[in-house]
Structure 1
Amino acid sequence: MTAATRGKVCVVGGGIAGLATAALLAQDGWDVELLEQHAELGGRAGSWSAEGFRFDTGPSWYLMPDVFEHFFALMGTSAAEQLDLRLLDPGYRVFFEGHEQPLEVSAVRAENVARFEALEPGAGQALEAYLDSADEAYAMAVDHFLYTSFEEFTSLASRRVLLKGRRLAPLLLKSLESFVAARFDDPRIRQVLGYPAVFLGSSPDRVPALYHLMSRMDLADGVLYPQGGFSTLVDAVAGLAREAGATLRTQVEVTAVLTEPPTRRGARATVRGVSCRDASGQERVVEADVVVGSCDLHHLETRMLPAELQTYPERWWARRDPGPGAVLVMLGVRGELPELAHHTMFFTRDWAANFDDVFDARQVPDPASSYVCRPSATDPSVAPQGHENLFVLVPVPADVALGHGGVDGSGDAAVEQVADAAVAQVAAWAGVPDLADRVVVRRTVGPADFAADLNAWSGGALGPGHVLTQSAFFRAGNASTKVDGLLYAGSSTIPGIGLPMCLISAELVLKRLRGDRSTGRVAAPITKEAAR
């Protein structure tokens, strides 16, 4: 559509991708209405409060700050104007099974080089080369692979990509695990460099080596935190969407995508809006020229469309990897916990078996590696004075049969057992023997909760994992091939999972509606005057 024919857009889902899509399209001159089934916006980036504690229930890492900055610039503002960002130092702390001393990752690249060198002679110089390669790979990704819908493949045939081809091809054909192992011997270093695969919903032996670019974000760029928690990011994006003119409605469940049949043989159906149900149970139709599904793609395709109009039917999903599930444990703890950094990892010795259990055997690892966020180390607003806020994440299979979580141990037995083991692990490895006795608030979340609350395919915690066959142009596209005007955003589609990728997915919707097939970022800021 041209600027002169912009019309009505209905965005399904009020997570960060849906909110960003609503903001960008409203800023570009569209009439936007967003529908969210829950009472609160945010989706996976949710929030839960109890007894003076406030927990982020989803994303807790602020990485790729340039992506956030670009999004805010498109909206005519900046991250500094919208958020109170703090640089974490250490960026995170890692406890390794069988080693008494943890490793701290600094906010300064040179310090990380020195720490790696102390673990393994020669590792410092190897890390410098590794991070230089990560810088190059990241620049390549931003310029050619992240900000494109792959509607045409001229981007892959550009002179620069072809010149880099000899280095790019091996990064796609070998695993991150083998790429790291060829450069470092110390298992602790290998684990630190392999762990970013978990952010990608996979494991180091399953993601392409190209994703070593992730290490530049924590080892060179530093890790940030928005004071007040990630709900402040949700609030900021929602506020910008409203300022741009978007209407954001909560407690409205979309039940079907409505279409018009093709007008001639060989043509495709055309979207005409959605049917939905509000909190009172009243049914209504929202007419729209464009529908953007930013909810779980499996749910939209297999539940909101008839079989003949599904681009991604059940048989397509049967051949795909849902990524990991997770057991989340939110703990309010009496007293201080200086043994833990803002971000702390607990890595088991048998690294490969841990991932095999999650992705192949589809059983809960024992022992399991885990991640703990202690935002109260940085942000006094998330816990009462004299208390700490802990968010624990244990990767498990994406399997709804593991069950639901609950408050104060009321969740299903398998979920509570995982939570108990994680608390015991933190207590033993970090040297906090009375941790369990100091817990005053506890809530767990299991894979069945992700499925029930977020319609997450298979109960996955993040979205489809970034194995090679689910990365870049192999990932689900952001437009229906059966229904004109039906587009997609969010972690299920390109470019992938995580907050930065969701922001980019929103920009890809904007580019597709503009007919922009370039591989670069949209020029900032977007102005309604220019759109008209």
Structure 2
Amino acid sequence: MTQSARHAVVIGAGVAGLATAALLGKEGWRVTVCERTDAPGGRMGELSVDGFRFETGPSWYLMPEVFERFFAHFGTSPESEYGLDRLDPAYRVYSSDGRSLDVRTGHAVELFETVDPGSGARLRAYLDQAREAYRLAEEKFLYTTFSRPADLANGEVLRRLPELARLLTEPLARKAARVTRDPLLRQILEYPAVFLASRPERIPSLYHLMSHADLTAGVVYPRGGFAALGRAMVRVAEAQGVRIRTGCEVTAITSTAGRADGVRLADGGRIAADAVVSCADLHHTENSLLPRGRRSYPERKWARRDPGPGVVLVLLGVRGELPGLLHHTLFFDADWRADFDAVFSGPDGRRDLPAARSMYVCRASASDPSLAPDGCENLFMLVPTPADPAIGHGDAYGAAESPTVRAIADAAVARLGARLGVGDLAGRVVVRRTIGPADFAGRYHAWRGSALGLAHTLGQSAFLRGKNVSDKLDGLYYAGSTTLPGVGVPMCLISAENVLTRMRERGDLGSAPTRG
């Protein structure tokens, strides 16, 4: 096949980096991906210890149509690459008052009506609006660069401006409160704020569209976990001629006459390029890889930005069964607001430990027994914390576990045992590894140790989130969770498509032929 002589360097081999590289390769570009760690995948990593295999990043597979669209560009599909299994129930929720509920796709209205009579009809209306918001976002706001007024001022958007204005200015917590009086049911509607790196009182109610994604569209499991998705993306990229270099850290983006012309490496080498796409953390890209005069987002612009939460991840190999856990299980503390204060308010909002008491637990071995030895379970526990590297490192990557991370992990394991009625849970743990905010800061250059990316507040959503192109350097583009459209694996896939759209708008794709 014909291949253009034009060369792109992509910084980072996470989801956005692999997707951008594959799409550029399909356009006929030569592409080199520089990944500082020893394996592609970014946050979508895995860790094998004594017969247990743990994922160290995303675990909820939502918005399957985004994955379908990405792989369709290359003549394949998720089902062909790794396969999908629908989870039923989708997940289980526990309240600290001892209640538990199983959430089944398509049956949320009945669940709400049973628990809180009268709320079923209100939830049905809520989900109908969520479905429309989801459709509108997908069609009008996600696959766009917001570079032209027409991206916003199209007919349907203009007709629905009053409704959109309400959804953008009213917080999710207030909208959810009108559906039900039951605290646990309200938490089911509010918890997506956490996965969007925010809190229910600060995130626009437009994001109730995520309730359509999990309550109506459903939750599936990629066979082999997200690591299987990563391997599939590597296969697709390499099939387009992409070269992935691991252990290859970029220390600077170079330029000539106002245009990015390559990258400098930690080993002293340099790679020349006709375009550079940084899928690294935006704060790191702007303030560590560019000289002062080339920064579109200099340090002073970050003073009022919200980094979203940090996390402590606890990876457990447990002897014996834990039937109280589904593949996905959420544990909500009754003092829900205090949890968010502990995570988002800094030292003044902290409890006894700088962490929430609510947490998420994934028992992936419930769907894939190969992840743990016979008679054992594989657990991934996520405990939200402030985005603060001072909380310290875990021990998963060889660093010394900080006392604070250890204390947060100990408390989480104790709470899990108490909630499940398994008093000897800690004694049944045969493998334990932890990851803390300092690991995110050091391993991924994540700003302030943020686990997900910038919070989806009103001022950090859609066109207010930031551009995916440099204002100061031609030929420099951005993709990933810290730029638009936002956090999460689907958003990273979309950001890769948006980079190519921006490159076409800027004339940087030229006449390079499309492969295949």
User: Where on the TM-score scale, by shorter chain, does this alignment land: which range?
Assistant: over 0.9
For 1:507, the equivalent position in structure 2 comes to 497
Identity level (%): 52
Indicate if the aligned counterparts of 2:317 and 2:377 stay in contact, CA closer than 8 A.
Answer: yes
Q: How does 1:29-44 map to 2 (within 5 A)?
A: 29-44=28-43
Q: Deviations over 1:270-294 (max 9, x none)?
A: 01100113xxxx4211000100000
Shift, 1:227, TM fit = 1.3
For 2:486, the equivalent position in structure 1 comes to 496
Q: Deviations over 1:2-39 (max 9, x none)?
A: x9987110000010110000011101111111010111
Residue 236 of structure 2 is aligned with which of 236, 240, 246? 240
Whether 1:257 and 2:249 are equivalent positions in the alignment is no
Whether 1:89 and 2:74 are equivalent positions in the alignment is no
Shift, 1:381, TM fit = 1.6
For 1:469, the equivalent position in structure 2 comes to 459
Taking a change above 3 Å as real, the CA distance of residues 365 and 190 of structure 1, as seen in their structure-2 partners, is farther
Q: Deviations over 1:132-163 (max 9, x none)?
A: 10110011101111011111121211111111
Taking a change above 3 Å as real, the CA distance of residues 120 and 15 of structure 1, as seen in their structure-2 partners, is same
Q: How does 1:395-474 map to 2 (within 5 A)?
A: 395-406=384-395, 411-474=401-464
For 2:357, the equivalent position in structure 1 comes to 368
For 1:229, the equivalent position in structure 2 comes to 225
Question: Which stretch has the larger CA shift, 507-516 or 304-313?
Answer: 507-516
Q: How does 1:135-214 map to 2 (within 5 A)?
A: 135-214=131-210
Aligned length: 507
Q: How does 1:128-139 map to 2 (within 5 A)?
A: 128-139=124-135
For 2:332, the equivalent position in structure 1 comes to 347
Q: Residue 422 of structure 1: SS of its match in structure 2? A: helix
Taking a change above 3 Å as real, the CA distance of residues 336 and 31 of structure 1, as seen in their structure-2 partners, is same
Distance 2:354 2:326 in 1: 24
For 2:313, the equivalent position in structure 1 comes to 328
Distance 1:80 1:516 in 2: 35
Q: Deviations over 1:386-424 (max 9, x none)?
A: 100000000000001111111599511111111011111
Taking a change above 3 Å as real, the CA distance of residues 496 and 166 of structure 1, as seen in their structure-2 partners, is same
Q: Residue 235 of structure 1: SS of its match in structure 2? A: helix
Indicate if the aligned counterparts of 1:95 and 1:430 stay in contact, CA closer than 8 A.
Answer: no
Distance 2:99 2:338 in 1: 23
Scaled by the length of structure 2, the TM-score of the pair is 0.95
Shift, 1:515, TM fit = 2.2
Distance 2:225 2:162 in 1: 42
Residue 123 of structure 2 is aligned with which of 123, 127, 134? 127
Distance 1:26 1:367 in 2: 43
Q: Residue 99 of structure 2: SS of its match in structure 1? A: coil
Taking a change above 3 Å as real, the CA distance of residues 309 and 367 of structure 1, as seen in their structure-2 partners, is closer
Shift, 1:183, TM fit = 2.2
Indicate if the aligned counterparts of 2:355 and 2:386 stay in contact, CA closer than 8 A.
Answer: no
Distance 2:305 2:311 in 1: 18
| One-letter identity of the residue aligned with 1:197 | A
Q: How does 1:100-111 map to 2 (within 5 A)?
A: 100-107=98-105, 109=106, 111=107
Distance 1:514 1:325 in 2: 36
| One-letter identity of the residue aligned with 2:476 | L
Shift, 1:361, TM fit = 3.2
Taking a change above 3 Å as real, the CA distance of residues 113 and 252 of structure 1, as seen in their structure-2 partners, is same
Distance 2:468 2:27 in 1: 19
Shift, 1:229, TM fit = 1.3
Distance 2:370 2:473 in 1: 46
Shift, 1:455, TM fit = 0.7
| One-letter identity of the residue aligned with 1:15 | G
For 1:522, the equivalent position in structure 2 comes to none
Question: Which stretch has the larger CA shift, 465-474 or 111-120?
Answer: 111-120
Shift, 1:122, TM fit = 1.3
Distance 1:485 1:386 in 2: 54
Q: Deviations over 1:341-399 (max 9, x none)?
A: 10111101111111012111343457611000000000012111110000000000000
Indicate if the aligned counterparts of 2:356 and 2:383 stay in contact, CA closer than 8 A.
Answer: no
Distance 1:249 1:410 in 2: 28
Shift, 1:75, TM fit = 1.6
Indicate if the aligned counterparts of 2:27 and 2:512 stay in contact, CA closer than 8 A.
Answer: yes
Distance 1:441 1:198 in 2: 27
Scaled by the length of structure 1, the TM-score of the pair is 0.93
Distance 2:318 2:96 in 1: 24
Distance 2:380 2:25 in 1: 35
Distance 1:496 1:508 in 2: 12
| One-letter identity of the residue aligned with 1:173 | T
Q: Residue 443 of structure 2: SS of its match in structure 1? A: helix
Gaps of at least 5 residues in structure 1 are: 262-268, 518-526
Distance 1:208 1:491 in 2: 18
Indicate if the aligned counterparts of 1:9 and 1:33 stay in contact, CA closer than 8 A.
Answer: yes
Whether 1:356 and 2:341 are equivalent positions in the alignment is yes
Q: Residue 252 of structure 1: SS of its match in structure 2? A: coil
Shift, 1:182, TM fit = 1.9
Distance 1:13 1:242 in 2: 15
